[in-house]
Amino acid sequence: MIEVEHLSKSYGPHLAVSDLSFRVSQGEIVGFLGPNGAGKSTTLRILAGFLGATSGRVRVAGYDLAEEPMRARASLGYMPETSPLYPEMRVSEYLAFRAELKLVPRRARREAVARALSDARIEDVASVMIGHLSKGYRQRVGLADALVGDPPLLILDEPTAGLDPNQIREVRALVRRLGRDRTVLLSTHILSEVEATCTRALVIARGRLVAEGSIDEIRAMRRSSGVRVAVRGAADAALALARGAAQVRAAEAEAAGDVTRLKVEFDAGADVGEATERLVRALVGGGLGVREIVPHTPSLEQVFSELTGTGGGDEEQGAGGGEPAAPAPEGEPPARAARKQGSAGRRGAARERR
User: What's the pLDDT score for residue 195?
Assistant: 83
Q: pLDDT band at 117, cuts 50/70/90?
A: very high
> Averaged over 24-42, what is the pLDDT?
91
320, 201: one domain: yes
Please give the residue range of the domain that contains residue 341. Answer: 2-220+307-353
292, 152: one domain: no
> Averaged over 128-155, what is the pLDDT?
93
Read off the pTM: 0.71
203, 143: one domain: yes
On whether the CB atoms of residues 258 and 189 are closer than 8 A, the answer is no
320 pLDDT above the threshold of 60? no
**Would you give the DSSP letter of residue 129?**
B
Identify the domain boundary among 279, 297, 315: 297
Q: Where are the alpha helices (DSSP H) in the chain?
A: 40-47, 69-74, 91-101, 106-119, 135-147, 165-178, 191-197, 215-219, 235-244, 272-285, 300-308, 334-353
Residue 302 lies in a domain: no
174, 276: one domain: no
> What whole-number distance in Å separates Cα of residue 20 and Cα of residue 30?
16
Q: pLDDT band at 109, cuts 50/70/90?
A: very high
Residue 168 lies in a domain: yes
Identify the domain boundary among 252, 269, 297: 297
What domain count does the chain have? 2
323 pLDDT above the threshold of 50? no
Residue 70 lies in a domain: yes
